[in-house]
A = this chain, B = another copy of it.
Amino acid sequence: MAVIRTNIFSINLKYNMECYVILPDEIPKEKKLKTLWLYHGGSGDHTGWLYHTKIVEYVNERGFAAILPNVHESCFVDMNIGGKYGSYVGDELPKTMWNMFPILSSKREDNYICGLSNGGYGCLHTALKYPEKFGSVGAFSAGDKADADFANDNSEKSKTRIRLFGDTDLNQNEYGVKYQAHMLALQDIERPRIYHACGSEDPWLDMNLMVKKCFEEMPDKYDYTYDQIEGLGHVWPFWEEELVRYLNYLGLPIL
């Protein structure tokens, strides 16, 4: 097993960004490693999945690679006012990593993104924006930011919203996941397989269900699976359990 911490200058962001890369003990000679990109939540960073779950165990038992980026408070998007974190994490970082670690497969069918909370929204956003790079996405506790209440009232909350997305209607632009999903459905390309999960006690369960409804209304366009765990909310035990279920869903069994 190798746990690798990188500190690399980002062209998009113009400063150094940290990232963890976790590789299994056994690296097969004949083929490249499938890769799971793990997105942190709103108050987390690149250490979140490493410190709060047994991702190192899963990597080793199941023989894949995990990459844990850090995007600060950006929700994994190109901020309306702020850095182009969406381009960094969806485009620049994969290229950097594939360059630096050629043992990682760069095929779309071998790359998956998984995220929680803000990172759950973020991974849907990335996967729908870069469908040529990612074959599947596992979004946990993930609502569409388009469905969040917004009053342009100069509150801290509204300032953050404007900073991230502007004051526009997110059902009409790429910051909206359902908007993205509908736009992508019009194109004749391979779309990512979507695994979506929420705990029954999650305070944003209803927003998750709106996303569910969207994808379930396009069954011929999206291969969509929804999973709900009763009794769990917006907590690490839920996200860890869903991580394991998602690895099973992806066909990454214990070797």
Cross-chain contact B52 with A52 (CB below 8 angstroms): no
Stretch in contact with the other chain, from A7-15, A109-117, A124-132, A181-189: A7-15
* Most chain B CB neighbours (cut-off 10 Å) among A44, A81, A101: A81
| Interchain CB contact (< 8 A) of A5 among B4, B9, B23 | B4
Number of copies: 4
User: A47 contacts which chain B residues (CB < 8 A)?
Assistant: 3, 7, 16
Interface string of A123-142 (1 = CB under 8 A from B): 00000000000000000000
Interface residues on A, range: 35 or more
Cross-chain contact A236 with B7 (CB below 8 angstroms): no
Q: Show 10 residue pairs from A and B whose CB-CB distance is below 8 angstroms, ordered by the A residue.
A: A1-B16, A3-B6, A4-B4, A7-B47, A9-B25, A16-B43, A51-B56, A52-B54, A81-B159, A100-B103
- What is A's interface to B at a CB cutoff of 8 Å? 1-9, 13-16, 18, 23, 25, 27, 42-45, 47, 50-54, 56-57, 72-73, 81-83, 99-103, 159, 162-163, 236
